[in-house]
Amino acid sequence: MFDLSSIVNGYAQGYFLMADETDQLGWYRSQARTLIPLDQRFRYPKSLQRVLNQQRFDVAIDRAFDAVIEGCSDREETWISDELKEIYRTLYAAGWAHSFETWQGDQLAGGILGIVIHGAFIGESMFFRIPEGSKVAMVKLVEHLRQRQFTLFDAQLMNPHLERFGAYMIRSEEYDGLLETAMAQNCDFC
């Protein structure tokens, strides 16, 4: 079993959990951290603006938390083990983990799974079932975090998808300073 306060403390210190190929869970911390900008550096493809203008998706928070976990882990190769799913569910029950979702009618279109500690949103994973579902979730989540004055949207590791949104990497020393600022905040996610 796991200790909830130790897990929250680990994330608050800049570590994150991942399972390896044998489903062994471990703490990781990278020398360079990927952030989604919450300022003017955030961007998205022009084609996505048309989708946003059409208002094809509604957004919700925690409407289908378990479905978002399953959507994020439903891949050929995943670092989200069964044990990590249970940790996310426990964090959710305690108010630390959340899902930010897009919906088309009553169908879950996409979502982002994250852990919220003070002024930091630590993005764990994202997925989509309907094209553009996760991209719209990203744009709407950034708007949500801006409105609530969050300091940090931590994406942990870079990938080409995140680069399209202006994601950038910083060294761990700079990350630690931003994380310290975020931990001094008292932001309300919901």
Taking the C-alpha atoms of residue 57 and residue 105, their distance in angstroms, rounded to an integer, is: 8
As for how many domains the chain has, the answer is 1
DSSP-assigned beta bridge partners for residue 152: 120
Q: Is residue 138 part of a domain?
A: yes
Render pLDDT for 59-78 as a digit per residue (tens, 0 to 9): 999 999 999 999 999 988 88
Q: Is residue 189 part of a domain?
A: no
Measured between its terminal Cα atoms, the distance across the chain in Å is: 28
Q: Is residue 159 part of a domain?
A: yes
- DSSP label at 157? S
Q: Is residue 190 part of a domain?
A: no
Q: What is the CA radius of gyration of the chain?
A: 16
Q: Are 129 and 71 a contacting pair, CB within 8 Å?
A: yes
- DSSP label at 14? T
- Single out the residue of 118, 135, 22, 116 nearest to residue 61, CA to CA: 116
Range of the domain at 86: 4-183
Name 169's Cβ contacts closer than 8 Å, sequence gap at least 6: 32, 33, 34, 35, 158
Which CATH number fits the domain that encloses residue 121?
3.40.630.70
Taking the C-alpha atoms of residue 102 and residue 116, their distance in angstroms, rounded to an integer, is: 19
Render pLDDT for 138-183 as a digit per residue (tens, 0 to 9): 999 999 999 999 999 999 999 988 999 999 999 999 999 999 999 9
* pTM metric for this prediction: 0.95
